[in-house]
A and B are shown apart, each in its own frame.
Chain A
Amino acid sequence: MQRQIICVDMDAFFASVEQQSNPRLRGKPIAVIGSGGRTVVTTRSYEARRYGVKTGMNVYEAKRLCPEIIFVIGNNEKYTYTCSRLKEIYGRYSPEVEVYSIDEAFIDVTTTSHLFRGPLEIGKGIKQEVKEAFGITCTVGIGPNILIAKLVSDISKPDGLRWVKEEEVTELLEDLPVEELWGIGRHISERLALLGIKTCGQLARASAGLLRSKFGIIGERLKEMGMGICNRPVKVVEDEPKSIGHSMTLPKDIQDRAEIKGYLLQLCEMVCRRARAYGYNGRRVSLTIRLSDFRTFTHQRVMPYYTNHTHRVYNYVVGLLEASGLNAAVRLLGVSLSGLIKEEKTVPSLFEEFHREGLLYRAVDMINNKYGEFNTVWGPYLRSIRGSQVISPAWRPSGIRHVKVR
């Protein structure tokens, strides 16, 4: 049976939500930015794209390209809620739904499409339901695998709907530049160009041996991609997490050690609270520091025990900070806990102190579960900006990758 995979990609998602929310923004060039003082464009409307405004630009660059651009501070709760509701809509057509990012999802309708008169009708149904529920548009690409479905959705934007069947894939790919394929970035496409490979058709005909010699184990995979072959399944169940991490771009560069430690304690609490909520302990702690000149360092250390106790992790993170010899202003801090195992597989500590700590964290977690995140906080970060302000690419509508963002 030919697989039928749907890729749903929301059109300029955050910007479309804001234009739908506020009728005065409709038809105008807008850019959604974060609430911090030095944020960049996270999404821009199609009207702004015409002026060359791109994601990741700072507001000054965007304003220079498009003087009439309107900056809108994003409302992450709106976007994460909408994403969760979109998943419900997709779930009406198939149980095999993978929310790949806040604005993209894959749906395997191979075994359910006959119930809805084919995948094209499902695509129409999804587009109609999304429009009715939220007033925004999405593009639906349908293909025999995820790679082609994603490609079809990318080349059909905005508000598109297209089905490319297996027998049409070769023709679609023949003259398509390799960088259009999902997973082939600028670096790989430049290296392919040096081999005289610029289109997917050329990539498909390239010698597997040559690709292997130049790209190692991904060489054959690249050839398959050129042929439109992809066996990656739609992941309905999330993989077990390898790490739990949080990072934070600070409101301003800071050098004061006490202030840095306040943010580190907060990051440790965010990491450990999530680990406790999903029953994980970790053993390896990582500290990431980005300086004001964007140089970035990551330091790691393995703890002698598995834990999800905030202050235990914090002590090791501070140890890493001290050992780093940091004496410059910091722009971004990140903490992650890896080497994860489930709590029930951890040998309980024989020390009473450990047990008492656990009860304290449990009590604080229960208060925050009832009254809201950061209702009860540790003293050193009372004055810090609190919580996640950015939707990470790893964000998911449920499970351990679900992080509440403000």
Chain B
Amino acid sequence: MRGVEKRYGALQALAGVSVAVRQGEFFGLLGPNGAGKTTLINIIAGLAHPSAGAVSVLGADVSADYRRARRMLGVVPQELVFDPFFTVRETLRLQSGYFGLRANDAWIDEVMHHLDLDAKADANMRSLSGGMKRRVLVAQALVHKPAVIVLDEPTAGVDVELRQGLWQFVRRLNRDGHTIVLTTHYLEEAEAHCQRIAMLKAGRIVALDTTQNLLASFAGPHPADLEDVFLHIMHSTGA
């Protein structure tokens, strides 16, 4: 991401964001509500056009070379969206097809298994609970085995069991070489999984370092956790 800006009329959602996420990295994007995290993810995903700047995914520009960029990108949207006309398996087959993949059932089965969706494979999307729908969203982002996986608050409103299962699976994907970009409000999750973290505030990056360095930089009365660091940085930087 190079100098990414986004304006909606008078509102400046992003004011020049430059970050290079490294290949194979588990990267966290943190910030309070309205900081611009989802806008940034939407620009990476091609759902929003930047007002200035450019983003590329493994060398493919997300606008000029959007087909290549999108094939390498799997995005789990924050909103719990689904198509009520289809079952879980149909949804995943359709999503594979959108990426030009057929006969993808072996991988679809594997993804469903890891997300504990096997029993719901033939259930209509409408009949699923919120947590189950969230799992399908994750599965949809993974059908084309993207090199880069973007998770926009994947554990919002999700029970402990799924959270643990999900993190196990995502860590495995990361070990297998997938780059992970995560936004979350659960800072302990970011602390546990992310190697590097960028903190956004009012559309600007106010901190960017390894999780270790961020924790070490905080001189407080007790051993710091990421929440201390986050609050310290948010309060010590100007609006």
Query: Bound pair: A and B?
Result: no
**Partner-A contacts on B (CB < 8 A):** none
**Partner-B contacts on A (CB < 8 A):** none
